[in-house]
Amino acid sequence: MERNNKVLVGSDVVDAFVEELSDVNPLPKHIDVSPENVEHGLAKLVLTLIELIRKLMEKQAMRRLDGGSLTDEEVERLGESLLLLEKKMDELKDYFGLKNEDLNLDLGPLGRLM
């Protein structure tokens, strides 16, 4: 039923909606704050952010390379820097027991970061 541009909903619809929302729990019942889990979680977050920045840097480098705005020396230095960063990321992932697929953030309804 509609009255003054407002939609009125029957109480059974509202009750069903409230019941459905009560089944959804966005927060875990227990958060494990042991030192190992905190360290692992922090490492995962930091490495995820570094990986995101690394990918953005690679895309920017490719745009500049395709645009011809880099000298041969800059291309060489950029390539070496990106390879060194990738190697260091692999070392850190090994140290913390992380895989490439672990380095991502779930943004809820927006989907995955990468």
Query: Taking the chain (114 residues) in consecutive chunks of 10 residues, what is each chunk's mean pLDDT?
Result: 53 72 63 74 89 88 89 90 91 91 74 68
Spatial distance between the Cα atoms of 22 and 24, rounded to a whole number of angstroms: 5
Q: What is the pLDDT of residue 69?
A: 87
Given a contact cutoff of 8 angstroms between Cβ atoms, the answer to whether 53 and 47 are in contact is no
For residues 55 and 63, the answer to whether their CB atoms sit within 8 Å is: no
Instruction: Determine the 3-state secondary structure of 104 from DSSP.
Output: coil
Q: Strand 6-7 to strand 2-3: parallel, antiparallel, or no bridges (unpaired)?
A: antiparallel
Whether pTM > 0.85 for this model: the answer is no
Estimate to the nearest angstrom the gap between the alpha carbon of 87 and the chain centroid: 21
The three-point CA angle 29-32-34 to 5° equals 165
Report pLDDT for 40. Answer: 83
- pLDDT for the residue numbered 107: 63
Write down the pLDDT at residue 2: 47
So what's the pLDDT on residue 1?
Answer: 46
Instruction: Tell me if residue 2 falls in helix, strand or coil.
Output: strand
The pLDDT value given to residue 10: 64
